Amino acid sequence: MKKTALIPLALVSLVSTCALAQPFFTCKSAAGKVQYSDKPCADATHVVPLVLPAESTLSQRKTENDALISKEKVIGDRMQSSRVANEQAGFAAQAQQVQAARNLASKIEQDRTTQRAATNSVLPADAGPVNTAPRN
């Protein structure tokens, strides 16, 4: 089929589609006021035809939007679960670090106590107090 035969067919289908959709016009007057009408405004300086989509297109868009919203909700729920899991892992790691620090402090205190006891047992009873003042 020749390309020139397709042009009239395309024009007929375009015109028939436009005839089914009710056109609306947006008109802007000289004063800047915008009006909407089903007929072109006579006193308007700027007229733009608006073609509203068919009802089937609107229901299809609603279905697509609902599907997209559902997908985004699933993604949001996954992100929330991941965030909560990461926070819990962080809290657990922090608790382990605090416990390790406490254990280390306890061990150091035990070592100091043991060292003091060993030092006190080595000193003779009549030696008196140990001078711990720094030397100059």
64-116 residue pLDDT tens: 999 999 999 999 999 999 999 999 999 999 999 999 999 999 999 999 999 98
Residue ranges of the domains in the chain?
29-119
- Per-residue model confidence as pLDDT tens digits over 24-36: 677 777 777 877 7
At 96, list the tokens.
């382990």
Ordered DSSP codes for 50-73: EEPPPHHHHHHHHHHHHHHHHHHH
DSSP 32: S
For the question of whether the overall pTM of this predicted structure is more than 0.75, the answer is no
Distance CA(19)–CA(8), nearest Å, equals 16
Q: What is the bridge-based pairing of β-strands 23-28 and 46-51?
A: antiparallel
